[in-house]
Every structure is written in C-alpha cells, then in structure tokens.
Amino acid sequence: MNDGGAIGDRLRGIRRSRGLTQERLAELAGLSPGVVKKIERGGNARLETYHALARAMKVKTSALFDSTGPRRNTNADADKLDLLALRQAISPPVTITGRLGLDTVDEEPDLDRLRTSAESVAVAYHRDKYPAMGELLPELVRSTHAAVDHFATGTERTTALTVRSEVLQMAGRYLTQVRAYDLAHMALRDAVRDAVTVGDRLNAASAIIGQAWILLRQGRLDEAEQLASETADEVEPRISRASREELAAWGWLLLRASAAAARNNRPDEARELVRLAQTAGSAVGAEVTDHLRGWGTFGPLTVRLKAIENQMIADRPTKVLAMADCLPDGVGRSTSDNWNRHRLDVARAHAMLRHGDEATRVLVDLRSAAPEWLKHQRQAAVTFRDVLKTRKRTLTRDQRELAGFLAVEE
C-alpha cells in the first residue's frame, strides 16, 4: 500500500529506539520474525500487520507511514480499464472554456426523471449489483453534468447540483468498494463542493463520511479521524430537535472517527467516539436508511456492530464473538448494509481462534447472501487462507468452492 523501503526504515528505527530485537517485536505483535524482517528489507504488508506492529511498539500506526517523500500506491486505479467510462465521466479533461467533449443539450433535462434514475442506481448499489453500477453510473454522471450546465440559476440549478452531489457520492461508494480510491476521492470531493454550493450541509456531511472511509482504506488514519471528528463537531445537532437524518449523519461521522482512532492505536479515543455515536443511535431509536443520501443504515444496532469491529481491529477475537452472541435476533435483516461486514469480522475471529469449520460456515453464508460484495473483500481471502493453514484434513466441498470463488490456492 505504500513505499516499502521507507516504512521498513521507520519500523527499524522505532524498533531499535524501543530496544527490541526483530524476534521480540514479532512475538509482541503476534507475527513471525520473517514478517518483520521482510518489512524492514522493503517488503509490503497488509494494514492490519502494520497496526499490530505499531500496537506492540506503543505508537500510532500512522507513525510508520509519515513521510515527506512520495509513496508508491499499489492500489492505484490507473490500470483499471473497465472503469474507463466512469473515469471519463468523473474526471474529464478541461480546456480553457470548459470540459473537453461537452455535448450540447438540445432539450431541457428532466430533473424528476434524473432523480428517479439516481434512486434506482442507489437501490442497485445497496443490493450489491456492482456490474449494473459499472454500466449505469457513467451515463448518469454525464447526465447530471449536463443538467448543471443547462440550468444557470433558480431552483432548477439548486436541484441539479443536489442530484449531481448525490450521484457522485454513489459513484464514490462504488469506486471505494472496487478499490479505485483516487477516482473515488475525486468524486466525493466534487460531491462536497456541489453540496456546499447549495448550502446543503447534510449532503456535504454524507460525502465527507465517504471521504473518511477512503482515507481509512488508504491508511491515512490521522486525516480520517480529524476530518470525521471536525465535521461531526460542525454538524452536531440539538438532540431534542434533530431529524433522524441529521442524527444519522452525525452518528456516522463519529463512527468513522472511531474506526480511524481504533486503527491508529488510540483505543480510549475510539471508545469515547463510540459512546457519542450511541447517543445518536439511541435518539434515532430504530434503524434508519436513506438509500440515495447517507451511507446505509444507522441506528443503535449499527453502533453495536461498529463497536464489535473495533474489537476486531484490536485483535480481540474472543471479545468479538462474545459481543456478537449478545446481538438480538434478526439484526441481519434490519441492518443489511453493515451486517455483511460484521459477519466477515466474525469469520475472521473464528479463523484467528482456529475454528476452521465455523469460519468456513460464515464465509459460505456470505457467499450465498452477497456474492458480489464478498468478491471485493480482501479480508475474506485473508481469512480463508488462515483457515486452510490450520486444517487437519482434506478440504470439504464448501471449502473447495470457496477457494475457487476467493481465488485462494488450496
């Protein structure tokens, strides 16, 4: 994910300043000495590995990434040719007079139809229909550009900018799922700009929730926490008068900040942010979902799921399973947007505890319920590899099928 040599040098320097040998650091982090040696020689590792090493040395994870020089990004999306149409729609070349190849619209755009199309694409996203998203989004983004360009003033322009902000947010979510992070960041940056232009703070906050998600994926933990925390402070509602959507936006910002703090070895801050999010969740009451604006379901159950996720980040698999067992029945139906991620954490916890059959069962269920989503989750492959490492007998039929689906060598 970053320049391996620079990270290796920083790891070596911090390790030596702590008086630790490579073997002792590996022991404290729960890793093999070979992993530490590989990183210090310039090799790359997963973010979870860097997190474990930083926790063992009692420093923030970001201390391993801080650098004034450029870094190589192996998740860069320049080679994703299947995203070419969406790239052209989101980041077209710009001339002195405007976007290159801008088509002249002969008839007035139909804003009601445009919003209806946006709502349909939002539903497709939340149903994990990624191939459909890839096909529909480019033309939808171009249509919102045309609408904004056509309406120069009045309520129509406000509506056009609002719809474009919402559509760009959907594009950002989809692109984040398929790991096209730089393009996703561009879409969400522009979504914030459009929302701020029309004075829609909730829409802007929604796009910022997405930006924080991307920063988390990129390991930019300090920025993610700061962005989400500061925006949460700016939009914090008066609980007694807040709408459910206002509470959901505030709560999600707090959860993003908590996730960043947890990954950055700041457990006290992570717990406090979850506590504040619980306030928002309690005020909402039941789970609330807005498929077009916002980032899926939010409510008291969502906060509980994210608190469990923080325990997984801290490598506490026993705690993860204990907290998961205390969830009420049926939460998977009411919190589908977050439930799959939670179940993947449960599978990971089982794998860490060498419960191979249980981990396999959860992964099989996820493949059945959300195959397109699971296909893009790197943690699924990592978890299943760990299951295979500890197996004591021939692979079952389910395990063979999972190996093929997740592209994991048997």
Place of tokens 């999972």: 402
Q: Return phi, psi of residue 98, to 5°.
A: 145, -165
Q: Report the range of poorest mean pLDDT among 41-45, 314-318, 331-335, 352-356.
A: 331-335
Mean pLDDT computed over 156-174: 94
Report the candidate in 354, 270, 287 with the shortest Cα–Cα distance to residue 317. 354
Residues 305, 310, 316, CA angle at the centre, nearest 5°? 110
Q: How many CB atoms lie within 10 A of CB 378?
A: 11
Q: Do the beta carbons of residue 121 and residue 133 sit within 8 Å?
A: yes
- C-alpha 402 chain-centroid distance: 23
Q: Return phi, psi of residue 166, to 5°.
A: -65, -40
Q: What is the DSSP letter of 83?
A: G
pLDDT tens for 393-403 read: 788 888 889 98
Q: Do the beta carbons of residue 136 and residue 121 sit within 8 Å?
A: yes
Helix locations, 4-110, DSSP H: 4-17, 22-29, 33-40, 47-57, 84-90
Residue 392 has pLDDT above 80, yes or no: no
In whole angstroms, give the CA distance from residue 130 to residue 82. Answer: 12
Average pLDDT over the chain, rounded to whole?
Answer: 86
pLDDT tens for 31-73 read: 888 889 889 888 888 878 888 898 899 888 888 876 543 344 4
In whole angstroms, give the CA distance from residue 107 to residue 94. Answer: 24
Mean pLDDT computed over 371-382: 88
pLDDT band at 209 (very low <50, low <70, confident <90, very high): very high
Helix orientation angle between 201-217 and 181-197, rounded to the nearest 10 degrees: 160
Residue 115 has pLDDT above 60, yes or no: yes
Q: Report the range of poorest mean pLDDT among 183-192, 242-251, 291-300, 371-380.
A: 291-300
> Which residues have a Cβ under 8 Å from the Cβ of 202 and sit 6 or more positions away?
235, 245, 246, 249, 293
pLDDT tens for 292-313 read: 565 668 889 999 999 999 999 9
In whole angstroms, give the CA distance from residue 334 to residue 343. Answer: 14
pLDDT at 224: 95
Q: What domains are defined for the chain?
A: 4-64 (1.10.260.40), 77-199 (no CATH), 217-314 (no CATH), 329-410 (no CATH)
